[in-house]
Amino acid sequence: MTAERPAVIVIEDEPQLRRVLRTMLETNGFRCIESESARRGLLDAKTLRPDLILVDLGLPDRDGLDVIRIVRQWSTVPIIVLTARTEETTKIAALDAGADDYVTKPFTVGELLARLRVALRRASDSNPSGVIDIEALRVDLVHRRVYISGQEVHLTPIEYRLLTVLVKNAGRVVTYNHLLRHVWGPDKIEQHDFVRTYIADLRRKLEADPARPAYILTEVGVGYRLLAPVMERVTN
């Protein structure tokens, strides 16, 4: 059994937090490898071939953003950022550098595990196809159809493209720039108003109460997160 447990490298300089993370991970079916510095973490990532990397942005020897960039040069291993900073720009920078998701300290076990599982699932199946069910929302990627509680919803081509990008990253935060790049192409970068306006339209079609969205959740200043499909979610 031990061999099958996914290995997670924790690059974190504070021993207390490392200890807590180890307990959290070990009791939830992960194997934990502790690295106390960026240098050590990069070495472990190269030699131990982990299934996931959990990296703190505030490391003493090197910026966590650098770690993400360096790992991304040779690996697509899921990276989740641990950040004490609440600034949205830091989160966006980490995501744009190649991180899969972020968890803001202090976090709960549920939050952390949900992010880990979503990231691991995406790593094993990066291009979902077929039919995806998220509560009452059903997206049929084969026939390009969208249903809410069995009722078909008519979307414009852009709204549909927007939804598919979100569905393919379900459970994960998708930045405005990512959405712009994948829906409109690279020349519309930085026009975040575009995304917000189309998301508002999409919500009016999908959500029962657009002011209390159940599917497309907002991470203000960062982007959007589509609710993860049922099997991915952790009830806590």
Partner 1 sequence: MFAMDAIFISRQLSRASSTCGSCALDSIPSRNELYSRGMSECGRNSPAAFMPLGFFAPSIILFARVRSVIRTIVGKWHGRDLRRRVLGSIVGAIVRATGKIASRVTANRDIYCHRRAHNNPEFTQAVDIEGPASSLGTPRWRGYFSGVLIAAGCTALAAIMSIWFAPTNLAMVYLLGVVLAATRLGRNAAIATSVVGTLAFDFFFIPPIYSFAISDTQYLITAIVLLTVGLVISSLASDLRLQAHTATLRERRTAVLYALARELATASSLEDIATSSLSHLAKIFDASGLILLKRPDGAMRSLRAAGSTALIELTDTAITDWVFTQQAIAGTGTDTLPSASAIYLPLNGTLGKVGVLVVHRNNRRPPLVSEQQRLLEAFANQIAVAVERDELRRAAHSSAYAAQEERLRSSLLSSISHDLRTPLAVIGASASSLLQGNSQLSEGIPREAVQTIHHEAQQMTHMVNKILDMTRLEAGSVQLDLQSYHLEEIVGAVLARLKDQFGQRAVSIEIPRDLPMLYVDGALFEKVLINLLENAAQYTPAHTHIEVLASHRDRQIEIQVLDDGPGIPEGSELQVFAKFYRAHAEGSVTGTGLGLAICSAIIEAHGGRIWVENRPGGGAIFSLVLPLKAACNERTQCPVS
Binding site for partner 1 (CB under 8 A): 86-89, 106, 192-194, 196-197, 199-200, 210-213, 217-221
Q: Least CB distance from residue 144 to partner 1, whole Å?
A: 24
For residues 8 and 222, which CB has a smaller minimum distance to partner 1 in the complex?
222
Question: What would the two tokens of residue 20 be?
Answer: 């807590």
For residues 87 and 135, which CB has a smaller minimum distance to partner 1 in the complex?
87
For residues 39 and 85, which CB has a smaller minimum distance to partner 1 in the complex?
85
For residues 13 and 219, which CB has a smaller minimum distance to partner 1 in the complex?
219
How many of the other CB atoms lie within 10 Å of CB of 143? 7
Residue 28 CB partners (closer than 8 Å, separation 6+): 109, 113
Question: What would the two tokens of residue 2 be?
Answer: 């031990």
Q: Least CB distance from residue 222 to partner 1, whole Å?
A: 8
Q: Least CB distance from residue 198 to partner 1, whole Å?
A: 9
Q: Least CB distance from residue 201 to partner 1, whole Å?
A: 10
For residues 98 and 210, which CB has a smaller minimum distance to partner 1 in the complex?
210
Q: Are strands 173-175 and 216-219 parallel, antiparallel or unpaired?
A: unpaired
For residues 1 and 220, which CB has a smaller minimum distance to partner 1 in the complex?
220
Q: Least CB distance from residue 165 to partner 1, whole Å?
A: 18
Q: Least CB distance from residue 98 to partner 1, whole Å?
A: 22
